[in-house]
Structure 1
Amino acid sequence: MHYITTKNSLIHREGDQMLRKLILILMLGISAFAGAQTWPVKSIKLIIPFPPGGGNDSLGRLIGQKLGDALGQPVVVDNRAGAGATIGTEVAAKSPADGYTLLFSSITTHALAPALYAKLGYDPIKDFVPVSVVALAPTVLVVGPHVKATSLPALIGLAKASPGKMTFASGGNGAAPHIAGELFKAVAGVDLLHIPFRGGGPASLAIMAGDVDMMFDTTASAMPHVKSGKLRALALATAARSPDYPSLPTFIEGGTNGYEFNSWYSLHAPAGTPKPIVDRLRAEIEAILKTPEMRSRIKAFGADPSNISGDAFAEFQQAELNKYTRLIKAANIKLE
């Protein structure tokens, strides 16, 4: 028996195929929507790309705990440190976009690393959905008790008298304190030796022990040690003095005009995470940050609660990326 394929039958067959594809797409969309409406039904993983024990980790765990309480499901922290916080960030970027993996992100992961590394395993814009900025933390210059300088001009004088001898610590190559130090070197015209550690905690301990001279740390990490008398703060990298630390002068007052460096902490989800889930996350974070208890606890870290979300966060992130790409290029800072 012979079959004759006519033009009309081909059109009919192609129409059937298109209809089946459309039905499949609709079914997948309905399934994803239904999943988003019932989310979360299990624990959520929060990747923190920093080592346990430091200020970044502590703040991330606090956010995770409160978010888990609000959602009714545990938020399990997964520390994936290394390579300037890029290892954990890459893991998050490649995770399923189902709302069950989130990233505790920061200026390091989404503004500094992309400007520093020629080869990066993720795109900070294309591979993520920005959820919300949760806190802002200015950079503060702290020194160990063994350092004789009690002011920024005095410290600059010591550094210029012994080029390459004074040291500054960081939680690793490419971390915010590292870049803050490199930019300070360029602005102040001093030669300091960078000593990287595996995390901010060990870096702070090294300064307290007198093994390293100074660190350009966030207020969130450094100020508890300053309050306890284990470190001494010399300058704050803000445009004006902070009402939280009114006696602490700015870098600008100390003679380094144009030196400002503020860190930020945030939540990102993998690109493709359903919008209803992202909207729910943003709403819960906003509610959490409005509570007096949470604001007080974030303040205790030396940071300021800050709820920047949605399009405003996307614009803020792009502006920060552009800013530090320009500054890092001008200072000729490169990492492999």
Structure 2
Amino acid sequence: MKARNVVVFACATLASMFAIAPGARAQAYPTRPIRLIVPFAPGGGNDTLARLFGQKLTESLGQAVVIENRPGAGTTIATAQVARAAPDGYTLLLSSIASHAVSPNLYRNPGYDPIKDFAPVALLGIAPVILAVNVDVPAHSVGELIKLAKARPGDLKFASGGVGSVMHTSGMVFSQVAGVQMLHVPYKGAGPGYVALMAHEVDLVIDTAAALMPYVSTGKVRGLAIARKTRMPEAPDLPTFAEAGLPEFEANGWYSIHAPAGTPAPVIDKLNREINRISNMPDVKERLRQLGTEVAPDNTPENLTAFVRSELAKYTQVIKNSGIQPE
């Protein structure tokens, strides 16, 4: 009997250990470095936000958050790799409008499902876009630019950092809302697109305030409007699209973090809590303000899922109306 009791006790103890193991592992997370994959080249808004939050997460979690830039194929290469990664919280994606709303509509087989293949973690911020033209374009307002575009259908060229980028999608939305035809000129990153704008190779760009404002504020390009409800305090002379006569224009960049589907809920919750705490740090709030990026309210994984679904549906329609065929 004594031997039998020992066996029963041992089995019960072992069972209880397995029962608490997942929770214990989640509490211990992370125990090694985390990779945060950015599907864009260094230097853009995505990379800037990744490095800001990556450094703060490194400090709070006690493990290095290593930024890995993997641009290409409209974000689909890196995004598909993360979708196939082990769901253990050690591979994360700096997701965005490109990876989760646009590219799934631009590519017949992007290699992933933006909803089913990912576990949402947190929305890092929403970045309003600015419409800017090169200084030789004879338009000093949105109305004048639309008039010019209608007088020269298909002649005005807008630059982007590649198919599926915020610059590309914002240009498509502007064309549809304004009822104009423009020529899309994709470059290998936002930087070359800005160079082309300042060299007068293209006429305009629409990109996030975080990336474009330095060029506007120094007069290297002419800002015409910003996609905010109110004017940006750092640029009081820059009107909103509504003030500029185009209130229907709704296009902004956004940045988020997703993990592979199946990542344990306690790990997701821990990352979400840390990101929300970091977002409210005074120095982070100031940096986001400087970048023109607004912190997302009520930032839960569930709300991020709802947000991504709405953006996916929006750009499904935008791309359909543009006549672009999936590649």
TM-score by length of 1: 0.87
**Range moving further from structure 2, 299-308 or 65-74:** 299-308
Extract unaligned runs of 5+ from structure 2: 1-13
Conserved? CA contact 1:299–1:305, under 8 Å: no
Equivalent residues in 2 for 1:187-336 (5 A)? 187-242=177-232, 245-307=235-297, 308-336=299-327
Which of 129, 132, 136 does residue 122 from structure 2 map onto?
132
Look up the SS of the partner of 2:92 in the other structure: strand
Q: Deviations over 1:83-118 (max 9, x none)?
A: 111111111111111111111111111112223322
| CA shift for structure 1 position 46 | 0.4
> For the residues of structure 1 that align with 2:225 and 2:177, how far apart are their CA atoms?
14
CA distance in 2, matches of 1:35, 1:116: 39
Where do residues 27-176 of structure 1 align in structure 2 (5 Å cutoff)?
Answer: 30-176=20-166
* Structure 1 residue 326 displacement after superposition: 2.4
CA shift in 2, pair 1:249/1:334, >3 Å: farther
Residue type of the alignment partner of 1:83: A
Deviation, structure 1 residue 179: 1.5
- Please give the alpha-carbon distance, in whole angstroms, between the structure 2 residues aligned to 1:219 and 1:332: 28
Instruction: Quote the offset at 1:243 in angstroms.
Output: 5.0
| 1:257 Cα offset (Å) | 4.6
Specify the structure having the higher radius of gyration (Cα).
1
Q: How many angstroms apart in 2 are the aligned matches of 1:96 and 1:296?
A: 35
Counterparts in 2 of 1:39 and 1:145: CA distance versus 1, 3 Å: same
Letter in 2 for 1:59: L
- Greater alpha carbon shift after TM alignment, 184-193 vs 213-222: 184-193
1:183 aligned partner, one-letter code: V
For residues 28 and 227 of structure 1, the distance between their equivalents in structure 2, rounded to whole angstroms, comes to 59
Distance 1:80 1:27 in 2: 40
Matched residue SS, 2:74: coil
1:137, 1:149 → 2: CA distance? 25
How many pairs does the alignment contain? 315
Q: How far apart, in 2, do the equivalents of 1:255 and 1:264 lie?
A: 24
- Once the two structures are TM-superposed, the CA of residue 171 in structure 1 deviates from its matched residue by 0.7
Give the unaligned 5+ runs of structure 1: 1-23
Runs of at least 4 residues off by over 6 Å: 24-29
Report Cα offsets for 1:278-334 as digits up to 9, x if no partner.
111011101101111001111111211225222122212212222222232233333
State the 1:165 CA deviation: 2.0
Q: CA-to-partner distance for each residue in 1:58-91, whole Å, 9 max, x for gaps? A: 2211111111111111111111111111111111
Partner of residue 10, structure 2:
none
Cα distance in 2 for partners of 1:286, 1:123 equals: 26
Which one-letter code corresponds to 1:279 in the other structure?
D
Which residue pairs with 2:11 in the alignment?
A: none
Specify whether residues 235 and 189 from structure 1 end up closer, same or farther in structure 2 by C-alpha distance, changes over 3 A only: same
Q: Deviations over 1:197-235 (max 9, x none)?
A: 111122122212222211111112111221222222101
What is the CA distance between 1:125 and its match in structure 2? Answer: 0.7
Q: 1:77 to 1:161 in 2, by over 3 A?
A: same
Q: Is residue 33–residue 274 contact of structure 1 (8 Å, CA) maintained in 2?
A: no
Question: Please, which moves more after superposition, 88-97 or 24-33?
Answer: 24-33
Cα distance in 2 between the residues matched to 1:56 and 1:273: 23
CA-CA distance at 1:32 after TM superposition? 3.8
**What is the identity, as a one-letter code, of the residue corresponding to 2:226?**
L
